[in-house]
Amino acid sequence: MLITPTPLRDLAKGASSNPWAYGSGHVDPKKALSPGLIYDISKEDYSKFFCSLHYPHDIIEMFTSHLKLNISCSNKFSDLGDLNYPSFSVLFKNKTSIQYSRELTNVGPVNSMYEVTVTAPSTVQVTVKPAKMVFKKVGEKQRYTVTFNNKKNKEAAVGAAFGWIVCSNAQYKTLSQTGFSSWSREAINRPENRRVCMGLNLNGFRFI
């Protein structure tokens, strides 16, 4: 549902709204039933994610009790951005380059080829490798790596910007939203910026 929506528009002027308002967009039930590619996540992945957030054990069990997992939190993500989620939240802080990987699973036809296209703000360079993927069978999994480079001075405290990464062919289009910020941790903690941080969390983004 997060990778096949229709972008929302302002009813008054018809202009496209931004991810603060719509997250990934309107759910398209027909496309969601046949997405071509999916970002598969196991119940163990969610357990690792909750543990990586350092939630109390009883809270984690409340969210995962129906999964019947043995939660020990001995295995965690080294970076929250490692969760195989269909969006990217990139907080540069003092860094000029950040890299994440994702895994796609083919649920469409055999011998499907997808090409990657990127839309990014002028302040960020986004490189995806490989730029072309061929899935020879149903259920085949392939990984790609995204490198985000901040073109601005790393000390510059700018707000947020958005873009997206699309894997597509003539039949399917898999869209992954991207959100960027080069705020410092001090800037994030300012009261006037907390709404922005919450927006990244609530609208299909994870603020890292």
Question: Model confidence at 139, in pLDDT bands (50, 70, 90)?
Answer: very high
Q: Is the pLDDT of residue 128 over 90?
A: yes
Give the single-character DSSP code of 192.
G
Tokens at 200, concatenated: 């990244």
Give the single-character DSSP code of 128.
E
The pTM assigned to this predicted structure is 0.77
Tokens at 124, concatenated: 């960020």
Question: Model confidence at 96, in pLDDT bands (50, 70, 90)?
Answer: confident
Percent of the chain with pLDDT over 70: 71
Domain boundaries, the chain: 1-38+84-208, 41-79
Lowest-confidence pick of 135-139, 146-150, 175-179: 175-179
CA atoms of 20 and 205, how far apart (whole Å): 10
Q: Which CATH class is domain 1-38+84-208?
A: mainly beta
- Mean pLDDT for the chain? 80
What pLDDT is attached to residue 168? 95
**In sequence order, what are the beta bridge partners of 179?**
89, 162
Q: What angle do CA 192, 194, 199 make, to 5 degrees?
A: 125
What pLDDT is attached to residue 143? 97
Average of per-residue pLDDT across 133-145:
97
Average of per-residue pLDDT across 51-68:
84
